[in-house]
């Protein structure tokens, strides 16, 4: 099966699989700069924390060709702010833009042309894309080793290839676990209101040939009562320094259920989704989305006219309910404060070497 790659640079243009139209229509949206990319992120053409980080990197890299030579850094920061405003919860956006900023600083100091800065940034964005897939594969390896019980796995939202540069985080763990034991099956929550589970995750597992059963989110309690679940595996948009995990709304109830039923609850988190500057989950900004996502289904109103709507896109699972956080740098459990610092510092050293090489190229 050809791997799903939601983000690609073709002929100098960013191509994003339009995830709003899956699974019925497979088409791409093209972006030529920061404004178009920010709009694509805001409108959910591309979604999933690592995917929006990598898309933003390409967006700013293409935009750089239009920066003013005398104001490279100011223009970088303005384009960055535009992209950062597109969605607030996933920290990967800020992570990607801050990883690239040293190149803009160096370019401004050296009086580089915008075209040259753009080429440098594009090459770093490509590297980020490759590294993200590699990180997901490493997460898959580490995570699959943690799943020791027999029985079905449960996931929520879409933390698959579509939510990343490829392969997936939580889906990556499940893929690898299934390769090691293909008697396994997966239950995917449909993920109201945006239906990432039914539209995207079910599509990905079906393509992979991994047995998947779809349920509405409210059916999870009955599932835990009726089947011996091996583990819950989810992704994250931002994990705070103390191990509190923001992920798609509906994740926290699954963690509560897992604890009640003695089932391990694993979070697949690339270090790009860990925010050490955020002390705990209460400090994570939670995106509130349009009421129409709840009042309408497939474009048709289903709710009573005039009703008020609560539509947070994410919730926060407290660290105490998380059995382990699986990163590309290894598994963290127990003391999240020190463990997360350790893995982030390893990742930062690797990234610093990449940036140094880019600066001398
Ligand atoms: O609103 P979305 O679809 O961007 O939310 C995505 C999620 O919550 C994912 O679980 C998270 O970004 C991790 S993706 C590897």
For every residue of 173-214, DSSP letters joined together read: HHHHHHHH-TT--EEEE--TTTTHIIIIIHHHHHHHT--EEE
Q: What domains, with CATH codes, occur in the chain?
A: 7-137 (1.20.120.420), 138-348 (3.40.50.10470)
Confidence of residue 355 (pLDDT cuts 50, 70, 90): confident
Query: Ligand 1: does its nearest atom lie under 6 Å from the Cβ of 191?
Result: no
pLDDT at 278: 98
Is residue 214 within 8 Å of residue 188, measured between CB atoms? yes
Average pLDDT in the 131-146 region? 98
Selecting among 237, 244, 275, 315, the annotated active-site residue is 237
What pTM did the predictor assign?
0.97
Atom of ligand 1 nearest to the CA of 49: 12
If you measure from the C-alpha of residue 69 to the centroid of ligand 1, how many angstroms do you get, rounded to a whole number? Answer: 37
**77 in active site:** no
Calpha distance 39→41 (Å, rounded): 5
pLDDT at 304: 98
**Helix, strand or coil for residue 218?**
helix
Atom of ligand 1 nearest to the CA of 52: 4
- 52-111 tens-digit pLDDT: 999 999 999 999 999 999 999 999 999 999 999 999 999 999 999 999 999 999 999 999
Query: Ligand 1: does its nearest atom lie under 6 Å from the Cβ of 7?
Result: no
Calpha distance 84→172 (Å, rounded): 27
């Amino acid at each position: 099966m050809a791997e799903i790659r939601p983000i690609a640079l073709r002929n100098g243009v960013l191509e994003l699989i339009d995830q709003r139209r899956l699974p019925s229509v497979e088409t791409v949206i093209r972006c030529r700069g920061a404004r178009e990319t920010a709009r694509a992120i805001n409108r959910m053409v591309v979604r999933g924390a690592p995917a929006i980080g990598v898309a933003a990197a390409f967006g700013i890299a293409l935009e750089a060709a239009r920066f003013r030579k005398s104001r490279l850094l100011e223009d970088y920061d303005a384009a960055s702010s535009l992209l950062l405003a597109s969605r607030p919860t996933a920290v990967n956006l800020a992570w990607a833009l801050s990883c690239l900023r040293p190149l803009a600083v160096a370019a401004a100091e050296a009086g580089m042309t915008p075209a040259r800065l753009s080429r440098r940034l594009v090459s770093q964005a490509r590297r980020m894309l490759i590294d993200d897939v590699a990180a997901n594969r490493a997460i898959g390896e580490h995570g699959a080793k943690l799943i020791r019980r027999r029985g079905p796995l449960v996931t929520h939202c879409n933390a698959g290839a579509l939510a990343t540069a490829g392969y997936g985080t939580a889906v990556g763990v499940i893929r690898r676990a299934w390769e090691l034991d293909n008697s396994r099956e997966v239950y995917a929550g449909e993920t109201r209101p945006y239906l990432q589970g039914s539209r995207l995750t079910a599509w990905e597992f079906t393509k992979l040939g991994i047995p998947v059963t779809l349920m509405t989110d409210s059916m999870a309690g009955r599932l835990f009562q009726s089947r011996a679940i091996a583990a819950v595996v989810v992704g994250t948009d931002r994990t705070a320094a103390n191990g509190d995990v923001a992920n798609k709304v509906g994740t926290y109830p699954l963690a509560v259920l897992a604890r009640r039923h003695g089932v391990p609850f694993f979070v697949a988190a690339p270090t790009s989704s860990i925010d050490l500057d955020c002390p705990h989950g209460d400090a994570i900004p939670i995106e509130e989305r349009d009421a129409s996502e709840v009042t309408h289904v497939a474009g048709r109103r289903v709710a009573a006219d005039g009703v008020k709507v609560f539509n947070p896109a994410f919730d926060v699972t407290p660290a105490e309910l998380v059995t382990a956080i699986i990163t590309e740098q290894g598994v963290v459990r127990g003391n999240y404060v020190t463990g997360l610092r350790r893995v982030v510092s390893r990742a930062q050293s690797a990234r610093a070497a990449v940036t140094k090489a880019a600066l001398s190229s």
